[in-house]
Each structure stands twice: as C-alpha cells, then as structure tokens.
C-alpha cells in the first residue's frame, strides 16, 4: 500500500484502507486552503522518499464529514499519523519537510521514541 504516491481517501474507504496499513500519514485538507496547497509537493516528496514504508493519503474535509468529525479536525492542514491502524497523533498546520521526516524516522524506529511528538 505504501506505493510512493499520495492517495485520496473518502469516508467510504477510510477505515478499511487504514486498517490495511502498517504506517500511514493522512492529511486532512480543503480545496480552498492555501497552506494545504503548499503542503502538497512536500507530502508528495515524503511519499516518494518513503515508498514501501509509509502509506500517504489525503482526505477532503468538505466532502468527507464523518472522518473529519471523528478526528475532530478544526483546522487544515492537519496530518494524522497512524501505526498498525491506530491513530498516534495529530500534526496541525504547515510544517517543513524536515519536521515530517523527523517524525517518520521516529515512526519507523530510526529515532527517539515515537510518542515524543504527540
């Protein structure tokens, strides 16, 4: 599933997809959100750089209210990190590549304890 691309999720397939992943980064975004547009190439680069290790996806908050409500997403972009189908934490706002990369290293067991960022 960690195919090196940013995949699009919907409410209908959200949990089914996340349950099939070992590690996942899911961005909650809005089409109208300027910081979300800035995050798009960063997320794409992260997906490519972590191909085979981490599943990357995004879900539109305006079209997918159930997941948005379930995770109490109040602002976008909001990245939620999952491990073994369970949410580990939220990363609100736009961050540089290096911040996400550091968290990925923790998630993959290459850095400090993964709970240190949540």
- Contact at 8 Å (CB) between 2 and 55? yes
* Parent domain of 91: 6-111
Output the CA torsion 63→68→73→75 (10° steps): 0
Give per-10-residue mean pLDDT for the chain (118 aa): 95 97 98 98 98 98 98 97 96 97 92 49
CA–CA dist 112, 78 (Å, integer) = 22
For residue 117, being part of any structural domain is answered with: no
pTM score of the predicted model: 0.91
For residue 44, being part of any structural domain is answered with: yes
Domain tally, the chain: 1
Q: What per-residue confidence (pLDDT) applies to 74?
A: 96
Q: What per-residue confidence (pLDDT) applies to 111?
A: 56
Return the CATH number at 60. 3.40.30.10
For residue 97, being part of any structural domain is answered with: yes
For residue 1, being part of any structural domain is answered with: no
Closest CA to 78 of 62, 55, 97, 61: 61
Orientation angle between helical segments 34-49 and 97-107, nearest 10 degrees: 50
For residue 118, being part of any structural domain is answered with: no
Q: What per-residue confidence (pLDDT) applies to 113?
A: 52
- The set of catalytic residues is 33, 36
């Amino acid at each position: 599933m960690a195919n090196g691309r940013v995949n699009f999720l919907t409410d209908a397939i959200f949990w089914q997809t996340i349950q099939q992943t070992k590690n996942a980064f899911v961005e909650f975004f809005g089409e109208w959100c300027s910081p979300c547009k800035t995050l798009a190439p960063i997320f794409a680069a992260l997906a490519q750089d972590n191909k085979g290790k981490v599943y990357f996806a995004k879900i539109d908050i305006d079209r997918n209210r159930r997941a948005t409500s379930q995770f109490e997403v109040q602002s976008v972009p909001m990245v939620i990190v999952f491990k073994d189908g369970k949410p580990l934490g939220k990363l609100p706002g736009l961050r540089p590549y290096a911040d996400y990369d550091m968290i990925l290293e923790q998630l993959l067991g290459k850095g400090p304890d993964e709970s240190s960022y949540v």
